[in-house]
Amino acid sequence: MFKRVLIVFAMAGVTVSCAAQPEKFLGPNGRTAYTLPCTSWAECYRTAATLCEKGYDIIGQHSDTQGFSSRGFGGHVYSTQTLAVECR
């Protein structure tokens, strides 16, 4: 039973992380800005360049590492990054 619950939670986490989309907001200088949830910094920078064709300024960034143990069946560690950019 525990293994089934663990698999469901793992799949839910993958679904949530894949579904994360850039969030648009008004930046500190009055320009369009985005919060970009990513699985790597390279992915964040590529997404920022795509969204901000004239370039961007980084206005915030955060990195987090999380993981779980599956009671002797191994575990999983993953890292997430969040980049906030304001388009030029």
Q: Which domain holds residue 68?
A: 2-87
| pLDDT at site 76 | 74
| pLDDT at site 22 | 96
Nearest-5° angle of CA 16, CA 83, CA 88? 130
Domain count, the chain: 1
| pLDDT at site 15 | 40
Q: What is the mean pLDDT of each run of 10 residues along the chain (88 residues)?
A: 36 48 96 96 96 98 81 74 97
CA–CA gap between residue 24 and residue 68 (Å, rounded): 31
The first and second tokens of residue 15, run together, are 């679904």
Nearest-5° angle of CA 31, CA 32, CA 35? 130
Q: Which of 55, 59, 60, 67 is nearest to 81 (CA)?
A: 60
CATH number at residue 37: 3.30.110
User: pTM of the entire structure?
Assistant: 0.68
Q: Beta strand pairing status for 56-69 and 23-26? A: unpaired
